[in-house]
Amino acid sequence: MKFSFSPKVAYKESEVYDENEIQLLFHALESEPYHWKMMITLALTTGLRRGELVVLEWKYVDLEAGTIHVKQSITNFINGEPIIKEPKTKKSIRKISLSDGVLSKLKEYYKLCTQEWDKLTGTRDKELFFVFFNQYVRAFYPENPYLWFRGFLKKHDLKYIRFHDLRHTSATMLINKEIHAKIFSERLGHANITTTMNIYGHVLSKADKEAANKFDQIIPLNNQKET
C-alpha cells in the first residue's frame, strides 16, 4: 500500500503595521481620494483579498445588517472585462461583520458611489455596480490597488508593505486583541484553521507568551514562601 503526503507549505513571515503605523497610514489617507481610503479601510478591517475587493459589488454589502458577503473574486481581465468567479475554496465564501465606525463611513461612501453611477450612464456596466471603480464606473484592474498603494507609501514616506500585507496586518491586530483563532480564520476565508496556524503561528506564539504572563498579574507567586 502506498501513501502520499502533501508537502508542507513554507509560509514567509510578512511585514505588518503596528498600531502606531496604522495611525500614520490613516493620517496620510486623509488627503487621498475617498475610494482609496475606503479600500484601505476595508482591507485592514475585513482582511479581504485584493481580488475580492476589486470585484466586490454593492449587492453583496448589507448596509442595514453591517455585513459583507464575499461570494466572488477576479481571476483575469479579457478585452477590458473582468473575469469573475467564485473564490478558490468554499470557506472563502463567507459573511464578514463590519464595525460601527466602518459601516458609517461605508454608508457615506455609498451615497457618493450612487451619484457617480447615476451620472455615467454611457460607460457603466448596467449589471455590475462595483464598490470600487474607475472613472468609467468599471472595475479596477487587479494591479491598480497594488500600484497605487506602492506609490502612496513612497509619497508619504511610510514603511513599505505589500497591499496583501494589509490582510496580514488585519489578522495580526485581531491576534493581539486576543480574538479566537477560529474567528479570524473564518473572516480571512482560510480553507481550515491549520492554514491560519501555519501562516500566523509566530504571532500566535508571542500572544500565547503574553497570555501566560498574565498569570503573574493574578497569582502573587513572588510573595509566596517556600515551605
CATH of the domain at 145: 1.10.443.10
184 in a structural domain: yes
The enclosing H or E element of 83 equals strand 81-85
User: What CA–CA distance (Å, rounded) separates 82 from 54?
Assistant: 10
Q: Assess if residue 78 is contained within a domain.
A: yes
Where is pLDDT greater, at 159 or 200?
Answer: 159
pTM of the model: 0.80
pLDDT for 10 beyond 60: no
pLDDT in tens, 103-132: 999 999 999 999 988 887 766 666 789 999
The alpha carbon dihedral of 19, 23, 28, 32 has a sign of positive
Strand-pairing partners, residue 67, are 62, 97
Q: Is residue 5 in a domain?
A: no
CA atoms within 13 A on the CB side of 76: 2
Residue 223 falls within a domain, yes or no? no
Number of independent structural domains in the chain: 1
By C-alpha distance, which of 115, 114, 117 is closest to 126? 117
Asked whether residue 6 is domain-assigned, the answer is: no
pLDDT of 193 reads: 66
> Which of 165, 201, 170 is CA-nearest to residue 184?
170
Give pLDDT, residue 119. 81
Residue 184 pLDDT > 80: no
Residue 227 domain flag:
no
Give the separation between CA 9 and CA 3, rounded to whole angstroms: 18
Structural domain that includes position 110: 19-214
